[in-house]
Amino acid sequence: MHKGLFISVEGHDGSGKTTQINVLQSYLAEALNTLGLKSGVVTTRDPGGTEFSEEIRKILLNSDMCSWSELLLFAAARKQLETEVILPRIETGHIVISDRWFDSTYAYQAYGRELMSEVEEIMHVVKPIVPDFTFFLSLPLIDSMDRITLRNETADRFDHADLEFKTKVHNGFIEHMSKQDQRVLHIDATQSIEEVSVQIKQHVDEQIIPALKKRMQ
């Protein structure tokens, strides 16, 4: 077992993942410092996080392609990130937080593109690392769509997808996450930023720090 920890943050569009990843990173860094541990907290994103995976990300977010190519490119970007960044860091005791991981493939490709058996086969072959902890920030579809419309960023191919796809992804995410074990903490992202942060910090205190201490022994 690795010495560090791997944490993923998943969520519906507009659920505030980025804000909460920043909160999580600084809270964990502070906790490591208090414990006198020299290890650090690294954040990354899937797809992305390495030069190669960022190149794939650009293609994935901008070019039209068949669902199979999409699924395989997400798997390739993720494997590169795992090999180049995640495994070396957690093996040396660091904490890695990833903005999205394979649970997003279930939501978008298995449910959204209706490729469940293909996703399962790819997972079986590629065997991406299973996060030690996952935060899932969920929102009702209507709130998610409202928040996305208010965003200023340039929209990508997935943001432009039709309502049918978005609905399948949205409901699929909830269904997939409800089938996972205790690695996942479900958070109601309709709460204020502050309330969500409090819940995240509480989980860090109660579950994540004790797990890290155990590994460090």
Region from 34-42, 43-51, 171-179, 193-201 binding ligand TYD, contact rule CB under 6 A: 43-51
27 or 158: CB nearest ligand TYD: 158
Which residue sits closest to ligand TYD, CB atoms considered? 108
Give which of 135, 147, 136, 107 is closest to 14, Cα–Cα: 147
Q: How buried is residue 136: exposed, middle or buried, by Cβ count under 10 Å (0-12/13-18/19+)? A: buried
Amino acid at 194: E
CB 56 within 8 A of CB 69: no
113 to 152: interface string for ligand TYD, x by CB under 6 A: ----------------------------------------
12 binds ligand TYD (CB under 6 A): no
Smallest gap, in angstroms, from Cβ of residue 209 to ligand TYD? 26
173 binds ligand TYD (CB under 6 A): no
Amino acid at 63: S
34 or 154: CB nearest ligand TYD: 154
75 to 114: interface string for ligand TYD, x by CB under 6 A: ------------------------xx---xx--xx-----
Smallest gap, in angstroms, from Cβ of residue 100 to ligand TYD? 4
The residue whose two tokens read 């998610």 is: 144
CB 122 within 8 A of CB 71: yes
Smallest gap, in angstroms, from Cβ of residue 148 to ligand TYD? 8
- The binder of ligand TYD chosen from 46, 50, 56, 86 (CB under 6 A): 46
CB 167 within 8 A of CB 107: no
- The binder of ligand TYD chosen from 47, 93, 131, 172 (CB under 6 A): 47
CB 98 within 8 A of CB 8: yes
DSSP string, 88-104: HHHHTT-EEEEES-HHH
The residue whose two tokens read 């399962």 is: 120
C-alpha span between 133 and 36 (Å, rounded): 22
- The footprint of ligand TYD (CB under 6 A) covers 13, 17, 45-47, 74, 99-100, 104-105, 108-109, 158
